[in-house]
Amino acid sequence: IQLTQSPSSLSASVGDRVTISCRASQGISGSLAWYQVKPGKAPKLLIYAASTLQIGVPSRFSGSGSETDFTLTISSLQPEDLASYYCQQLNSFPRTFGQGTKVEIK
Protein backbone atom coordinates (compact mmCIF):
# COMPACT_ATOMS: atom_id res chain seq x y z
CA ILE A 1 0.00 0.00 0.00
CA GLN A 2 1.44 3.37 -1.04
CA LEU A 3 0.76 6.60 0.81
CA THR A 4 0.95 9.96 -0.95
CA GLN A 5 1.22 13.05 1.21
CA SER A 6 0.59 16.59 0.06
CA PRO A 7 1.99 19.11 0.09
CA SER A 8 5.62 18.03 0.45
CA SER A 9 6.32 21.32 2.20
CA LEU A 10 4.43 24.39 3.35
CA SER A 11 5.12 27.71 4.98
CA ALA A 12 2.54 29.29 7.27
CA SER A 13 2.29 31.99 9.91
CA VAL A 14 1.81 31.50 13.63
CA GLY A 15 -1.91 31.14 14.26
CA ASP A 16 -2.72 29.81 10.79
CA ARG A 17 -4.77 26.67 10.20
CA VAL A 18 -2.66 24.02 8.47
CA THR A 19 -3.90 20.89 6.73
CA ILE A 20 -1.85 17.98 5.42
CA SER A 21 -3.34 15.32 3.19
CA CYS A 22 -2.49 11.62 3.03
CA ARG A 23 -3.94 9.39 0.33
CA ALA A 24 -3.68 5.60 0.38
CA SER A 25 -3.47 3.54 -2.82
CA GLN A 26 -6.16 1.22 -1.46
CA GLY A 27 -8.63 1.24 1.41
CA ILE A 28 -7.11 0.87 4.86
CA SER A 29 -10.19 1.45 7.01
CA GLY A 30 -8.99 3.73 9.83
CA SER A 31 -5.56 2.15 10.25
CA LEU A 32 -3.57 5.35 9.93
CA ALA A 33 -1.24 7.16 12.30
CA TRP A 34 0.46 10.55 12.16
CA TYR A 35 3.93 11.35 13.54
CA GLN A 36 5.91 14.52 14.11
CA VAL A 37 9.66 14.43 13.44
CA LYS A 38 12.07 17.11 14.59
CA PRO A 39 15.81 17.05 13.72
CA GLY A 40 17.84 15.08 16.24
CA LYS A 41 14.80 13.90 18.17
CA ALA A 42 12.77 10.72 18.32
CA PRO A 43 9.62 10.79 16.20
CA LYS A 44 6.48 11.51 18.22
CA LEU A 45 3.09 9.88 17.78
CA LEU A 46 0.34 12.47 17.33
CA ILE A 47 -2.73 10.62 16.09
CA TYR A 48 -3.71 6.96 15.75
CA ALA A 49 -6.74 5.17 14.34
CA ALA A 50 -7.02 8.14 11.93
CA SER A 51 -8.58 10.50 14.49
CA THR A 52 -7.62 9.53 18.06
CA LEU A 53 -5.34 12.05 19.74
CA GLN A 54 -2.42 10.45 21.59
CA ILE A 55 -2.28 11.30 25.30
CA GLY A 56 -0.33 14.48 25.93
CA VAL A 57 -0.59 15.83 22.39
CA PRO A 58 -2.00 19.38 22.20
CA SER A 59 -5.63 19.61 21.12
CA ARG A 60 -4.74 21.89 18.20
CA PHE A 61 -3.77 18.68 16.39
CA SER A 62 -6.59 16.63 14.90
CA GLY A 63 -7.00 13.86 12.35
CA SER A 64 -9.85 12.77 10.12
CA GLY A 65 -10.64 10.46 7.24
CA SER A 66 -11.11 6.79 6.43
CA GLU A 67 -10.31 4.20 3.75
CA THR A 68 -8.15 6.18 1.29
CA ASP A 69 -8.30 9.87 2.25
CA PHE A 70 -6.94 11.27 5.48
CA THR A 71 -6.10 14.71 6.86
CA LEU A 72 -3.97 16.05 9.67
CA THR A 73 -5.02 19.52 10.83
CA ILE A 74 -3.17 21.96 13.06
CA SER A 75 -5.87 24.45 14.06
CA SER A 76 -3.53 27.24 15.15
CA LEU A 77 0.11 26.82 14.13
CA GLN A 78 2.65 27.42 16.91
CA PRO A 79 6.41 28.04 16.62
CA GLU A 80 7.15 24.66 18.20
CA ASP A 81 5.24 22.92 15.40
CA LEU A 82 8.19 23.47 13.05
CA ALA A 83 8.83 19.86 12.01
CA SER A 84 8.16 17.21 9.40
CA TYR A 85 4.94 15.22 9.57
CA TYR A 86 4.42 11.67 8.34
CA CYS A 87 1.39 9.48 7.92
CA GLN A 88 1.71 5.70 8.26
CA GLN A 89 -0.63 2.89 7.37
CA LEU A 90 -0.79 -0.10 9.73
CA ASN A 91 -3.50 -2.06 7.93
CA SER A 92 -1.04 -4.52 6.40
CA PHE A 93 2.67 -5.26 5.95
CA PRO A 94 4.83 -3.52 4.86
CA ARG A 95 3.82 -0.73 7.22
CA THR A 96 4.49 2.12 4.84
CA PHE A 97 4.98 5.79 5.62
CA GLY A 98 4.07 8.74 3.45
CA GLN A 99 6.99 10.75 2.07
CA GLY A 100 6.54 13.49 4.68
CA THR A 101 5.47 17.13 4.82
CA LYS A 102 7.91 19.76 6.04
CA VAL A 103 6.19 22.59 7.92
CA GLU A 104 8.00 25.91 8.12
CA ILE A 105 7.04 29.05 9.98
CA LYS A 106 6.84 32.28 7.99
Partner 1 sequence: EEQLVESGGGLVQPGGSLRLSCTASGFNFTYYSMNWVRLAPGKGLEWISYIGANGRISNADSVKGRFTISRDNAKRSLYLQMNSLRGEDTAVYFCTRDQGASQFSQRFYFFDIWGQGTLVTVSS
Contacting residues toward partner 1, per CB under 8 A: 29-31, 33, 35, 37, 41-45, 48-49, 52, 54, 84, 86, 88, 90, 93-100
Beta bridge mates, 28: none
Beta strands across the sheet bearing 61-66: 3-6, 18-24, 69-74, 61-66
For the bound state, the minimum distance from the C-beta of residue 70 to partner 1, rounded and expressed in Å, comes to 13
Nearer to partner 1, 35 or 77 (CB): 35
- Least Å distance between CB 89 and partner 1? 10
**Distance in Å from the first CA to the final CA of the chain:** 34
Compare residues 17 and 95 and give the one whose CB is closer to partner 1: 95
Return d(Cα 43, Cα 92) in angstroms, integer.
21
Could you tell me the smallest distance in angstroms from the CB atom of residue 98 to partner 1?
A: 7
Strand pairing class (83-89; 32-37) = antiparallel
Quote the least distance from Cβ 1 to partner 1, whole Å: 12
